[in-house]
Amino acid sequence: MFKGDLSGYNWTLVNDKLRFSTNLLKVLYLTNGTKRIVSAVNGMPHFSDDDGITWIKSTGVVPTADGWELYDSEVTSDGKIFFLGRKDYNSSIRVYCSFDFGKSFKNLKLFTTSDVRNVSLGFNAKNDNVYVIEQINTDKSNLYKFNAVTKILDVKTSNQSIGFGQDGRANLQVASTGDTTNLFVVNNEQQLFISKDEGKSWKLRSTLPTRPWEVSIYVSPSDPRNILYGEVNAYRSNNGGGNWLKVSEWWEYYGDINNKMHADMMTFKEFKDPSGKPFILTGNHGGIYFSEDYGKTHSNLGLSGLNVSQYYDVKSMPGNPSRVFAGSQDQGQQRGLIEGEETAELFQNVSGDYGHITFTKNGKSLWSVYPGGLIGFYSAPLSQTNPIAGYEIVSSNETVWIPPIISGPDPSKDIILAAGGSTTKTSNGSYIIQLEYKNNDIEATQLPFNFATSGGQISALAINPIDKNKWYVATTNGVFYTSIDGGQQFNKTQSLLSESHYLYGSCILPSAITPDLVYLSGNGYSNKPVYKSVDGGKNFVEMSEGLPKTTVFKIVANEDESLLYAATEAGPYVYIATKGQWYDLSGSITPNQTYWSVEYIPQTKTARFGTYGRGIWDFDFKEISTGTTAPVAETDIVTVFPNPAADFIVIKGLDGYTANNVTIYDIQHKICLRSTLILGKTLDISQLLPGQYIVEVSINQKMITKKLVVL
């Protein structure tokens, strides 16, 4: 969570120790003048009265293990907060409302549908009226209106002839012109309908030139003649939806990043400045934009200090680890220089979504992947802005959105191996595609084995660094294959292993020291996140002790393989071979975020992690900052879980260690709790207020500190 002003130059971090859910963020003022922020932490509503530093869980919402899916919310002028959500994918949608500024919520209605495309929330800012539309079939809907006296949702109209179609999504906008309340909806045929009698009748206003995304239409509360809608581009109308103009083409952004809109619209919202003048903020995949003329012109507020690039992969140049390249979600391929302790800036080299990065020709050349299998080649990546050659893998079933690539068996050649697809449009298989840059072009060779026979597609591939004839492949459905003839033929060895992440695949790490040692990581929610084989991939055993249920996107090893580093959806982890266990590497300053990539840099003994929203973080093997500087081996003596926690924690120590006591300090280093400690037993922390704390454990005459977040 960040805050800033309308200049776009004064962004500051509010909180990155918690994971905030989208679609619920409200700022309001209590009757005593206190500013309150209401949002959702891990899918559960919370509120903060200290500008977002500490958060208190709201009451009244049915608790769930993984948090709610919230997808629509509104706040009235007197502080009532409404949201739509469901406990999980198969649960029915509910309407919740808070009557005490987010401190507690009440369930107003439980619908019979679990399909989020069937229910939408509408709000009239002129008179604080709240509406809900429920699609009951493809061309029929019910309309509800909140009764401020009875505090229930009244049925306004039922079984009315308005719907959103089989593939449409319920949407509802409400705005007043004079004394008339106007309701707006768009169906799956891109038709805009308006009702002036609260849903009793509807009139076709126009057909939108393109189909809106989930953001749908947004009607200006201050002037309903002005309407916006979004997909890749934004469109606007200044005559109440009668006709439409494209705000700008997405590609115009790259010629004028200050004033032209980036692609992929996510949200529109109108606010007022201190003088009462309305302005609109637009959120898209490029940041946040300001408009004071109802979307006709824009200024980009996200160009400075808003360090939120979502990195899929981060790779340092071999032999020169200060030169760094990154592939990101919609912020393109980036490059930059990381030196010293200061925060470095990376600059966009080429736009779009970019993922896997690999080097060839002994680290001089670079290859990167665009979604769908478009691969670019750079012969001089430090100076070339755009790839000098490209190749697109043909795939009719792109289960892995950004296909994995690895360097070929000969590091001196410009050859990579890519997860297919195929080289022909007539094939529906999943093959390894060898790509070689020569004669100023890329030549493709399809290897013979079709991995689609497993029922999945290639999600990871690797070559044994000791014996280059031994190749390994994992598929999206958790099947493992081995080859002993350089990838010509493969044998299926084991199934029901880690499956892949749908966007990015999984990871295979062969040992560079032990010939037949192979690690596999991936989606650990149905199976385990990490497995190990000691017989060259024929048989695997799980090695997930210390890891939560999570996806492990990438694993790498240090020089002697005594440590494995893992980039996971739950954060950064390290595996200590002598202990046979994974340990959380999160420190007092590291963000609570998804860590998508990791690489080990032997020159500096550093694990370099790429996060999905909070930049690049280097973990120095020599020490870790936890309020005091302690050797990493000492820090890993103690594990505190769950973390974040609400009512209790368990402190676990390594075998052979005994603890004397535990002291918990707040961020001002004030003692909040002190207790005699029994390792492995629960410690009641229910009296602690939500916020950040330091847990200090006296163990074997050592003082070990760990970070704790209390919800």
Average pLDDT by consecutive 10-residue portion of the chain (711 residues)?
92 91 92 95 93 93 86 95 94 96 96 95 96 95 96 94 91 95 96 95 97 96 97 97 96 91 95 95 94 97 86 94 93 89 84 92 95 92 93 73 93 94 76 95 94 91 97 95 97 93 91 96 93 97 93 96 96 93 86 95 93 92 43 58 82 68 76 79 84 79 76 81
CATH number at residue 657: 2.60.40
Provide the token pair at 418.
Answer: 């890519």
Please tell me whether residues 103 and 135 are part of one structural domain. Answer: no
Q: Tokens for 170?
A: 């319920």
- C-alpha span between 237 and 244 (Å, rounded): 5
Look at residue 519 and tell me if it is in a domain: no
Q: What is the rounded CA–CA span in Å between residue 544 and residue 542? A: 6
399, part of any domain: no
Helices (H), 184-292: none
Q: Do 133 and 236 sit in the same domain of this protein? A: no
Residues 120 and 29 reside in one and the same domain: no
> Is the residue at 351 inside a domain?
no
Looking at the domain assignment, is residue 679 inside a domain?
A: yes
Looking at the fold, whether 86 and 180 belong to one and the same domain comes out as no
Q: What would the two tokens of residue 279 be?
A: 């302005």
Domain boundary among 256, 279, 306: 306
Scanning the structure block, which residue is given the tokens 């992929």? Answer: 264
Give me the torsion for CA of 512, 517, 520, 524, rounded to 10°: -130
Closest CA to 43 of 76, 59, 73, 19: 19
Whether 661 and 704 share a structural domain: yes
Strand ranges in 484-591 using DSSP code E only, listed in sequence order: 491-494, 507-510, 518-521, 530-533, 541-542, 552-557, 563-568, 571-576, 581-584
What's the number of domains the chain is made of? 4
Instruction: Please give the DSSP secondary-structure letter assigned to residue 689.
Output: P
Tell me the C-alpha to C-alpha distance, in Å, between residue 134 and each of 112, 118, 196.
10, 6, 18
Cα(235)–Cα(629) distance, integer angstroms? 54
Give the domain-ending residue among 277, 306, 335.
306
- Quick one: pLDDT at residue 65? 74
Indicate whether 438 belongs to any domain. Answer: no
What DSSP state is assigned to residue 634? H
Residue 295 within a domain: yes
Is residue 43 exposed (0-12), middle (13-18) or buried (19+ Cβ within 10 Å)?
Answer: buried
φ and ψ of 116, to 5 deg: -65, -10
Instruction: Supply the pTM of this predicted model.
Output: 0.82
Closest by CA to 585, choosing from 542, 644, 625, is: 625
Is residue 57 helix, strand or coil? strand
Q: In a 3-state reduction of DSSP, which class is residue 24?
A: strand
**Computed over its alpha carbons, how large is the radius of gyration of the chain?**
27
Torsion angles phi and psi, residue 402, rounded to 5: -115, 100
* Cβ(480)–Cβ(470) below 8 Å: no
Q: Is residue 435 part of a domain?
A: no
3-state helix, strand, coil in the chain (%, to 5): 0, 50, 50
Angle at 236 between CA 235 and CA 239, to 5 degrees: 150
* Residue 425: predicted pLDDT: 67
Q: Which of 243, 281, 283 is nearest to 267 (CA)?
A: 283
Q: How far apart are CA 397 and CA 476, in angstroms?
A: 12
In a domain, 616, yes or no: no
Domain span at residue 279 reads: 210-306
Say which residue the tokens 């000492």 belong to: 634
Same domain (yes/no): 94, 136: no
**Beta bridge partners of residue 14, listed in sequence order:** none
Detail the DSSP E strand segments found in 422-512. 432-438, 441-446, 458-463, 471-475, 480-483, 491-494, 507-510
How many residues would you count in the chain?
711
Question: Cα–Cα distance between 422 and 444 in angstroms, integer?
Answer: 10
Contacts of 711 (CB under 8 A, 6+ apart): 41, 42, 46, 55, 57, 644, 645, 646, 690
pLDDT given for residue 51 in this prediction: 94
What letter does residue 5 receive in the DSSP assignment?
-
Residues 6+ apart with CB under 8 A from 255: none
* Co-location of 132 and 90 in the same domain: no
Do 182 and 242 sit in the same domain of this protein?
no
Same domain (yes/no): 176, 251: no
* pLDDT for the residue numbered 522: 95
User: End of a domain among 306, 330, 358?
Assistant: 306
Let me know whether 1 and 110 are in one domain: yes
* Same domain assignment for residues 59 and 128: no
The beta-strand segments (E) located in 238-351 are: 245-246, 265-272, 278-284, 287-291, 299-300, 311-317, 320-328, 333-337, 346-350
98 and 127 fall within a common domain: no
